[in-house]
């Protein structure tokens, strides 16, 4: 590749608060993917971008360059309107497992290219791989065929989709530059634009268990992603949803699949159902479809779509899910009402039990996790279990229990419990 710019100059420009042009960004991204710029120079630029910030124009240029670095899936010509959902990650967030078949049952095509968990937040693919036989790797042709016949697919993004983002994210991960709103927005949206959907709903989590703990930053991220999608010709909207308390009662892999199936059968925890229905309503709106998501959850049509999706990807929806060999209760030290339950602490405990990973190459346990037997506002008696820790490796229990010190509080009377805020915090776009 013939050098049109100098990498040191681009680092210096961003270090000094300057703005890169579209040509400079495209050259920078293309050169890095081609191996013409070394990691140390890109790492220096990423730190400068983290500290100085990126302008809206730079974010747009970066997103387009990363999309152009690989393949864009062509979903035109499908008999169903396409719509997808992306979550920024939370604790107990198994909404995607319900939403994809739910929207398929209501007439949409949902091409959900998902990822794996890292740290205290879970990954959709890790959860689904708890199902015997289920496979995450599909070709673009298989994705398109399954969308036409089943209406939904949840699978891994292929190596050919936005490869620049994959390479840049790996470097951000080891240089403490992940938490840049501009870089996060361009990373997420480059993959979603490349997957070819015409409409997208973003579930931006906010709270102690979320990547964005402050509402102002969550709103800023939501607006940045919505603007990027609209600029790419997509219909995009975002919901900020609360993540101070785990969503539902199950946190882990197989246990979350089981809870998602409960919702698809018309049951499940009320908070999980509320967030799922709210997102489904916006997805239907953007896709130009009508219908009642709650009815589709109650009449068996969403469950049928789930079973069809699992079978199409080699899984057996009727097969028993794996169960942990060890279940250890965390007991209440007093009687009263649970006043709070910290999502991050529960997520870290599940991670330490084996449900999550510290590095992308680490294996995860299908059976490990935490069951929240008591949620805020519910009563418990002294000596009764508040949480249940599940693992196949008893040596992990002590470290997981350490993460739960101060994670929940029990007060003497329900009148002392502060009401929790709304689950749906804000809509952007």
Catalytic residues: 86, 165, 172, 187, 191
Closest CA to 238 of 268, 267, 278: 278
**Alpha helices in 152-269, H assignment, sequence order:** 163-173, 181-194, 215-231, 254-264
Partners of 86 in beta bridges: 202
CA distance 134 to 158: 17
Give the integer Cα–Cα distance in Å for 135 and 153.
11
Positive or negative torsion for Cα 261, 266, 271, 277: positive
> In this structure, how many other beta carbons lie within 10 angstroms of the beta carbon of residue 106?
23
For the chain, percent helix, then strand, then coil, each to nearest 5? Answer: 45, 15, 40
**CA separation for the pair 359, 331 (Å, rounded):** 32
The answer to whether 246 touches 341, Cβ cutoff 8 Å, is yes
- Would you mind telling me the total number of residues written for the chain in this entry? 429
- Give how far Cα 322 sits from Cα of 258, 327, 387, 390, Å: 10, 13, 19, 12
Distances from the Cα of 43 to the Cα of 40, 136, 283, angstroms:
5, 31, 37
Of 88, 374, 85, nearest in space to 246 by CA: 374
φ, ψ dihedrals at 364, nearest 5°: -125, 155
Using the structure block, give the residue that is written with the tokens 């042009």: 21
Burial of residue 119, with CB atoms counted within 10 A of its CB: 0-12 exposed, 13-18 middle, 19 or more buried: middle
């Amino acid at each position: 590749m013939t050098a049109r710019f100098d990498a040191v100059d681009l680092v210096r420009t961003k270090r000094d608060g300057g703005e890169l042009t579209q040509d400079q960004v495209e050259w920078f991204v293309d050169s890095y993917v081609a191996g013409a710029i070394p990691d140390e120079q890109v790492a220096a630029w990423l730190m400068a971008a983290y500290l100085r910030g990126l302008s809206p124009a730079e974010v747009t240029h970066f997103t387009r360059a990363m999309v152009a670095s690989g393949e864009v899936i062509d979903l035109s010509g499908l008999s169903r309107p396409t719509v997808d959902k992306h979550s920024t990650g939370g604790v107990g967030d198994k909404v995607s497992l319900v939403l994809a078949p739910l929207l398929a049952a209501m007439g949409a095509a949902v091409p959900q290219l998902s990822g794996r968990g890292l740290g205290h937040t879970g990954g959709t693919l890790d959860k689904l791989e708890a199902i015997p036989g289920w496979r995450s790797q599909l070709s673009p042709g298989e994705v398109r065929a399954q969308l036409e016949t089943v209406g939904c697919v949840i699978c891994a993004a292929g190596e050919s989709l936005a490869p620049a983002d994959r390479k840049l994210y790996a470097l951000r991960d080891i240089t403490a530059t992940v938490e840049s709103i501009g870089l996060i927005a361009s990373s997420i949206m480059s993959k979603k634009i490349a997957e070819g959907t015409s409409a997208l709903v973003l579930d931006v989590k906010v709270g102690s268990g979320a990547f964005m703990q402050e509402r102002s930053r969550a709103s800023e991220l939501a607006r940045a992603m919505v603007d990027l999608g609209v600029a790419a010709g997509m219909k995009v909207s975002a919901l900020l949803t609360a993540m101070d308390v785990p969503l539902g009662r199950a946190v882990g892999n197989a246990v979350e699949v089981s809870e998602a199936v409960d919702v698809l059968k018309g049951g499940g925890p009320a908070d999980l159902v509320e967030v799922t229905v709210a997102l489904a309503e916006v997805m239907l709106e953007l896709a130009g479809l009508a219908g009642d998501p709650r009815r589709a959850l109650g009449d068996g049509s969403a469950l049928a779509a789930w079973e069809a999706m699992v079978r199409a990807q080699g899984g057996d929806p009727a097969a028993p899910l794996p169960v942990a060999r060890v279940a250890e209760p965390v007991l209440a030290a007093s009687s009263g009402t649970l006043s709070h339950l910290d999502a991050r602490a529960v997520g870290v405990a599940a991670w330490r039990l084996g449900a999550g990973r510290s590095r992308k190459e680490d294996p995860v346990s299908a059976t490990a996790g935490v069951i929240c037997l008591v949620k805020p506002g519910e009563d418990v008696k002294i000596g009764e279990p508040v949480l249940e820790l599940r693992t196949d490796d008893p040596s992990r229990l002590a470290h997981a229990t350490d993460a739960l010190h101060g994670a929940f509080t029990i007060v003497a009377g329900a009148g002392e419990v502060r009401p929790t805020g709304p689950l749906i915090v804000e809509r952007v776009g």
